[in-house]
Amino acid sequence: MPQNYQEYARRIRGYADIAEVNEYARVVEGGVEYPLFRLTLPGDRWLVITSGFHGEEPAGPLTLCQYFEDIAVYARERRVGLRVYPCINPSGFEDGTRYNRSGEKPNNDFLRYETAPGVWKGELTRDEAFLRWALYEGGPKETRAVRSDIARYPAPAAALDIHQDNYLPGAATYAYTFGDKAPFRRHMEAAAAYARVIRNEKVDEVNRTDPDGLIEYNDGSVTDFFLRSGVPFAAALETTTATPLEACHAINLIWIRGFIDLAARGGNGST
Ligand SMILES: [Zn+2]
């Protein structure tokens, strides 16, 4: 589903009256220069929202653009600060392709694990032990740009990454999460009104969901990075691309509001 990023950028810039709109970098893909945006709303505790790592997963970037004002009101009422990276891979978004126009893969590549002396890996198998992790320094230009911007700030109270699944059929949802599962189960129950929750099923060659539609997977992604940075609530939400856009918006907003509530609660043991 190709999108118009120029129009998208115009709408994001239009939020300058309710949030700080910054270009954290620009990338050139196929001779076209793309501004990369961060929307910042001040608050006492912080939520970071990322979306659009994969270009053929437009729902997250579209929810954040279309509903930003509602999201900002909800966050402000709870004194939660937002840092929103609404569309991380604009050339993929524009072309409707998973990767960027150079064919690089902007997801993952936030960190590496040393699993044995001198052996560094991007993902851990289930329960695999490791010696240490380190922020990765390479990767696609979009990843380097957002990673260095995110890493400039202290770890937030919560972090939500919004994806879609372009492989599984039908209107469905599941999530990759770290931390206490109780609030995530509530989000999933609310989301079940809009799409089938994928429970106890394989989602790919590596992962299967638990009875609540949740997966834990250390994949070197931004969510994994936030886990390792001590963020108590970190998740990557998935709706299938076969899910109608209005249902995706509803599910994304359930999780966005839920994560604002979690950030307001504070995490890290405070109440
Ligand atoms: Zn994705």
Write the pLDDT tens digit of every residue in 172-226. 999 999 989 999 999 999 999 999 999 999 999 999 999 999 999 999 999 999 9
Reported confidence tier of residue 256, pLDDT bands at 50, 70, 90 = very high
Residue 162 DSSP SS3: strand
Q: Is the pLDDT of residue 271 over 60?
A: no
- 99 Cα: distance to centroid of ligand 1 (angstroms): 10
Whole-number pLDDT of residue 186? 97
Mean of per-residue pLDDT scores for the chain: 96
Question: Is the per-residue pLDDT at 270 higher than 70?
Answer: no
CA distance readout (Å), 138 to 46, 85, 152, 194: 27, 20, 17, 38
- 164 Cα: distance to centroid of ligand 1 (angstroms): 5
Alpha-carbon distance of 252 to 248, in angstroms, equals 6
Q: Which pLDDT belongs to residue 267? A: 54
> Going from the N-terminus, what domains does the chain have, and what CATH number goes with each?
5-108+138-265 (3.40.630.10)
Answer whether 19's CB lies under 8 Å from 78's CB: no
Q: What is the pLDDT of residues 9-21, one digit of tens each?
A: 999 999 999 999 9
> Strand, helix or coil at 62?
helix
Which residues lie near ion ligand 1 (Cβ < 5 Å)? Answer: 54, 57, 163
pLDDT in tens, 47-68: 999 999 999 999 999 999 999 9
| Cα 234 to middle of ligand 1, angstroms | 15
Of 7, 30, 138, nearest in space to 91 by CA: 30
Judge contact between 212 and 227, C-beta under 8 A. no
pLDDT-derived band at 1 (thresholds 50, 70, 90) equals confident
- Strand pairing report for 80-85 and 32-41: antiparallel
Residue 53 C-alpha to ligand 1 middle, in angstroms?
A: 6
H/E stretch holding 261 reads helix 245-265
Does pLDDT of 268 surpass 70? Answer: no
Amino acid at 32: V
170 alpha carbon – ligand 1 mean position (Å): 17
Higher pLDDT, 2 or 90: 90
Residue in 121, 78, 87, 99 with CA at minimum distance from that of residue 10: 87
With bands split at pLDDT 50, 70 and 90, how would you rate the model's confidence at 2?
Answer: confident
Give yes or no for residue 7 having a pLDDT over 50.
yes
pLDDT tens-digit series, residues 135-180: 999 999 999 999 999 999 999 999 999 999 999 999 999 999 998 9
DSSP secondary structure string for all residues of 178-211: ES-HHHHHHHHHHHTTTSEE--S-B-SSS-B--T
Q: How far is the CA of 85 from the centre of ligand 1 (A)?
A: 15
User: Could you tell me the distance, in angstroms and rounded to a whole number, from the CA of residue 269 to the centre of ligand 1?
Assistant: 31
Q: How far is CA 177 from CA 92, 188, 206, in A?
A: 25, 12, 15
Give pLDDT, residue 56: 97
Query: Ligand 1 centre from 270 Cα, in Å?
Result: 32
Q: What is the pLDDT at residue 266?
A: 75
Pair 262, 157: CB distance under 8 Å: yes
pLDDT at 243 over 50: yes
Find tokens 């118009």 and name the residue.
4
In this predicted structure, the answer to whether residue 102 has a pLDDT above a threshold of 80 is: yes
Å from CA of 259 to ligand 1 middle: 19
